[in-house]
A and B are shown apart, each in its own frame.
Chain A
């Protein structure tokens, strides 16, 4: 292409632009160092770490039980899934069996958590690209979910609901009515979001062919979750290694084709529809029963029993003050969190506190593909790409 001399000068001059950490569309405190040539991004260097709280270290100084509230603060918009991912790992370490009702409750709440996370993603992603209405609608539905969380757990955000060996409490009676109401309503609302943006020409221009990851690249970069499935790779831990009650419910894993921002949008939207299906099945299939393991080593005793018999009191004391001596060993367990594969690698030295916990945070791994996605695109596409990999910095920086 022929360019004039002055143009050449302007174009060849590279500009380094610092984006974030305080930037609304970096979804938290992500800092990006962008190398620009004109408006084209030629290089990008993500610099995470502004939200580092030393969570893995904090965990080493708490009992297995006390760690549960810390996991709330990883990916703080889907606390249910983090709680679940952690307790599943601990249960694998100590071979704790969980009663069926608790498994269904966990599946149900985890899917509610997925919906709440995806709604925030959809809202902010669309907002970044310029569609403001979607955000308002998405948060409107999320409010219903938070109400459900509050009914089930007592908290709206940092739920700390899952417990090692079960869940905190059984679901209250009126939860079921509200939840049925929600699953009836939600698909209609999903259609509404679709109406707003699926065919919208601006949306299409901003998302089609942007941030393309081929299936091969996606696998090589270790992507997981919707970011991976947008590229057409059929990998979902709920199917691949079922945990909780996912093997007892029926659902599809939506896949994309082109691996661009648009496909990932389609995949996540469809995932919400599937989550809704799972929630309905859980509600239907749930049978009455205990929600805590019957293994007295790990089950916190019933409150009514604690001051009634000596055994329960001794258990209460040991569990609350130093937790059970756990089996020695190492375990890695992963669950499908809204962002992707959330893994907990636990090293146990046989005490009530973990020797080391390493968290495989999907946001962090997925962020590594960001330079690949964005390089060569325009400056304005940076925000679309951040939105599409769906990161939460609380989890990324830990």
Chain B
């Protein structure tokens, strides 16, 4: 009986709807959680997996990559192409390192695979570009990004 009266009361006075609206009102008074993205930027957390970068070797003269090709082997999206050649002293040189960001899935496996920690990921996430060509990151571009995020150190 009491339950039925209560139910009638609730029905007539729109109690549950009132409760909901009250919650909405309370939330309205709290500061907004929405971020106004291009103007307000969130700082990515440490270790965030963004754009790749190439570190320099200990001499600081050239890239650290030694051309083992493990990143290429482990990449599940076939985004990396490493082409190596023989240098003047029979050493292995990396003639071309190309990262195709159009294919990259940012799984970070290349970073895990690199035996000399040459390739790294930066928290850089704004990767939009206006031509497909810009999505191909060569060795030189990657080293530049490395300089920007890792101060060019080995």
A307 to B31, CA, bound (A): 51
A66 to B77, CA, bound (A): 9
Contact of B23 among A68, A195, A320 (CB under 8 A): A195
Q: What A residues does B93 contact at CB under 8 A? A: none
Shortest Cβ distance from B118 into chain A, in angstroms? Answer: 11
- Residues 55-76 of A, flagged 1 when their CB comes within 8 A of B and 0 if not, give 0000000110111111010000
Asked if A177 lies at the interface with its beta carbon under 8 angstroms from chain B, I say no
Shortest Cβ distance from A196 into chain B, in angstroms? Answer: 5
With contact pairs A150-B45, A196-B23, A199-B16 given, residues A316 and B70 touching in the complex (Cβ less than 8 Å): yes
- Residues 133-154 of A, flagged 1 when their CB comes within 8 A of B and 0 if not, give 1000100100100010011011
A68 lies within 8 A of B107 (CB)? yes
Shortest Cβ distance from B35 into chain A, in angstroms? Answer: 9
A316 lies within 8 A of B115 (CB)? yes
A196 lies within 8 A of B20 (CB)? yes
B107 lies within 8 A of A160 (CB)? yes
Of B46-54, B55-63, B136-144, B146-154, the segment with at least 4 beta carbons within 8 Å of chain A is B46-54
Q: What A residues does B8 contact at CB under 8 A? A: none
A195 lies within 8 A of B116 (CB)? no
Asked if A300 lies at the interface with its beta carbon under 8 angstroms from chain B, I say yes
In this complex, how many residues of chain A approach chain B with their Cβ under 8 Å: the count is: 42
Shortest Cβ distance from A304 into chain B, in angstroms? Answer: 9
- Residues 118-147 of B, flagged 1 when their CB comes within 8 A of A and 0 if not, give 000100000000000000000000000000
Q: What A residues does B27 contact at CB under 8 A? A: 137
Nearest residue (CB) in A for B46 is: A172
Contact of A154 among B11, B47, B74, B116 (CB under 8 A): B47
Q: What A residues does B117 contact at CB under 8 A? A: 303
**Which of chain B's residues 1-31 have a Cβ closer than 8 Å to chain A?**
10-11, 16-17, 19-20, 23-24, 27
Which residues of A come within 8 Å of B, CB atoms? 62-63, 65-70, 72, 133, 137, 140, 143, 147, 150-151, 153-155, 158, 160, 168-169, 172, 192, 195-201, 300, 303, 306-307, 313, 316-317, 320-322
Interface pairs (12), CB distance under 8 Å = A66-B76, A133-B24, A147-B45, A150-B48, A151-B47, A155-B48, A196-B20, A196-B24, A199-B16, A300-B112, A320-B113, A322-B73
